[in-house]
């Protein structure tokens, strides 16, 4: 071996055996709730019941309007105790093959450690989404009626928690109820849904379903005392996709059949870009993402303002005290290192 070089080591059979043993134990025995104490408050564990799985009807043409909103968070500048962020909230109207969309952008500054800033950002993001959705309900074509199915939908990204901190605005729920609009909240990922042994509930329920498109209802019924304003259900919307999502159905819709409420979603869940996921939510997510050009523009605007205020020297030193990892990755701007949800 040449001086100055270290030999490369590779994974061993023991590593592989340890992996196999741990995952085998997980599949057979699940995971105890105390292994994720920080999730325990919101953890939902049930034993899936095959009798609660019902088929959905495939809807090809739907005479109705889907409105979806989503908000992105991108970091312009950050240090250990503060961050400056661009919030871009996008909305989409989908009616048949017609799509209309637009967006709004806001600058948000949060002071505190990473956990504090993450909470501030979630509060503000949900507030922006709620405000935009409320404004959209006051305009746009929401008049179409269908003989068999509710015709107008508002789709939110997340879970059906309203009122209080880090929840959607309660007035949005009340406005949709008053207008007779179907308000649904769909989650891209649902790590807190588990079976009785702590395994992934969605995967476990999928193994039980005999149908190509289906819903499981309820996982848990609405509990307004805990800010949960919708029944938690699972939904599979495309025969060609294995994707299953959590879908919360607002409590005021309980007089309607769940299958009739959810079946129209199949009409907008066959787009190849997001097969099995409602395309209005996909488009809202895509349109909420600003380009690097826009981010660089806002970065320069922020830099100019901080320099004019005489704050640049101190704040740059604070940035440098936490940016060495960025430098090791060859990253000049914080938004170019961000992973999913890694924006604080």
Residue spans per domain, the chain: 55-287, 292-336
Burial class (CB in 10 A: 0-12, 13-18, 19+), 219: buried
Strands 152-157 and 65-78: parallel
Cα distances (Å, whole numbers) of residue 341 to 78, 114, 118, 272, 319: 15, 12, 9, 25, 20
Angle, nearest 10°, between helix axes 170-179 and 114-137? Answer: 20
Burial class (CB in 10 A: 0-12, 13-18, 19+), 268: buried
How far is the C-alpha of 149 from the C-alpha of 264, rounded, in Å?
7
Q: Which of 132, 114, 116, 161 is nearest to 72 (CA)?
A: 132
Cα distances (Å, whole numbers) of residue 150 to 5, 18, 180: 69, 52, 8
pLDDT of 339: 54
* Alpha-carbon 163 to chain mean position: 18
Query: What string of pLDDT tens digits covers the 344 residues of the chain?
Result: 455 555 556 778 887 888 888 888 888 888 776 555 444 447 899 999 999 999 999 998 888 899 999 999 999 998 889 999 999 999 999 998 899 999 999 999 999 998 999 999 999 999 999 999 999 988 754 544 444 445 799 999 999 999 988 899 999 999 999 999 999 999 999 999 999 999 999 999 999 999 999 999 999 999 999 999 999 999 999 999 999 999 999 999 999 999 999 999 999 999 999 999 999 999 999 999 999 999 999 999 999 999 999 998 999 898 888 877 777 767 778 887 765 445 67
The arrangement of secondary structure in 55-287, i.e. its CATH architecture, is 2-Layer Sandwich (3.30)
Residue 21: CB partners within 8 Å, gap ≥ 6? Answer: none
Question: What are the DSSP E strand ranges found in 160-228?
Answer: 182-187, 193-195, 214-220
How far is the C-alpha of 264 from the C-alpha of 259, rounded, in Å?
9
Burial code of 71-109, b = ≥16 C-beta within 10 A, e = fewer?
bbbbbbbbbeebbbbbbbbbbbbbbeeeeebebeeeebe
């Amino acid at each position: 071996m040449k001086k100055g070089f270290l030999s490369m080591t590779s994974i061993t059979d023991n590593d592989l055996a340890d992996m196999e043993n741990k995952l085998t134990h997980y599949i057979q025995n699940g995971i105890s709730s105390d292994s994720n104490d920080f999730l325990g408050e919101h953890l939902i564990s049930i034993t899936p019941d095959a009798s609660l799985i019902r088929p959905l009807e495939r809807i090809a043409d739907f005479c109705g309007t889907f409105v979806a909103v989503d908000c992105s968070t991108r970091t312009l500048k950050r240090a250990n105790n503060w961050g400056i962020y661009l919030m871009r909230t996008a909305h989409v109207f989908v009616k048949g093959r017609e799509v209309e969309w637009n967006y709004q952008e806001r600058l948000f500054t949060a002071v505190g450690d990473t956990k504090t800033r993450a909470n501030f950002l979630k509060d503000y993001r949900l507030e922006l989404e709620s405000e935009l959705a409320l404004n959209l309900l006051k305009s746009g074509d929401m008049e179409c009626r269908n003989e068999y199915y509710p015709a107008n939908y508002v789709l939110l990204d997340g879970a059906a928690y309203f009122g209080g901190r880090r929840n959607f605005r309660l007035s949005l729920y009340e406005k949709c109820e008053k207008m007779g609009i179907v308000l649904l909240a769909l989650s891209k990922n649902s790590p807190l849904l588990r079976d009785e042994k702590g395994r992934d509930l969605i995967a476990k329920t999928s193994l039980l379903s005999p149908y190509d498109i289906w819903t499981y209802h309820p996982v848990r019924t609405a509990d307004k005392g805990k800010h949960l304003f919708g029944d938690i259900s699972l939904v599979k919307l495309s025969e060609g996709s294995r994707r299953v999502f959590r879908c919360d159905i607002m409590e005021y819709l309980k007089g309607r059949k769940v299958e009739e409420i959810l079946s129209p979603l199949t009409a907008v869940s066959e787009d190849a870009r997001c097969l099995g996921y409602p395309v209005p939510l996909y488009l809202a997510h895509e349109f909420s993402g600003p380009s690097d050009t826009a981010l660089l523009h806002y970065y320069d605007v922020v830099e100019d303002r901080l320099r004019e205020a005489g704050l640049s020297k101190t704040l740059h030193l604070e940035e440098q005290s936490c940016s060495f990892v960025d430098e090791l990755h060859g990253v000049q701007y914080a938004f170019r290192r961000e992973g999913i949800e890694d924006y604080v």
